Amino acid sequence: DAGVTQSPTHLIKTRGQQVTLRCSPKSGHDTVSWYQQALGQGPQFIFQYYEEEERQRGNFPDRFSGHQFPNYSSELNVNALLLGDSALYLCASSLGAGGVSDTQYFGPGTRLTVL
């Protein structure tokens, strides 16, 4: 049973550029959430996708956008990159059924460095 996968593993960009990160959820999961984790901090919620729509969003600017495909995989796009966007970006998938069944399972993350 494949877990959550993310690509790429590492990425280096320069300020002002745009980046796309990809996530495939755990088999059977239909909900994908994206998090940003700065060094030494807990993950910060960016947004969540369900049925190809953004269901809820954290306190992140519009430069952060996403998409979910019919196969439940998802992309995170960040435009006009800033130095402060350097972080580990985590994707988590869940079943959306509530209770412990809605536990979020995390992928290995994409380490983004903005120079």
Q: Which is nearer to other proteins, 38 or 80 (CB)?
A: 38
Whole-angstrom distance, CA of residue 52 vs CA of residue 35: 18
Q: Which is nearer to other proteins, 17 or 41 (CB)?
A: 41
103 is a site residue for other proteins (CB under 8 A): yes
Q: Per residue, what are the HEC states of 32-91?
A: EEEEEECCCCCCEEEEEEECCEEEEECCCCCCEEEEECCCCCEEEEECCCCHHHCEEEEE
Whole-angstrom distance, CA of residue 111 vs CA of residue 44: 15
70 is a site residue for other proteins (CB under 8 A): no
Q: Of 11-19, 20-28, 36-44, 79-87, which segment contacts other proteins by CB under 8 A?
A: 36-44
Residues that bind other proteins (CB under 8 A): 4, 31, 33, 35, 40-45, 48, 50, 55-56, 58, 90, 92, 94, 96-100, 102-109
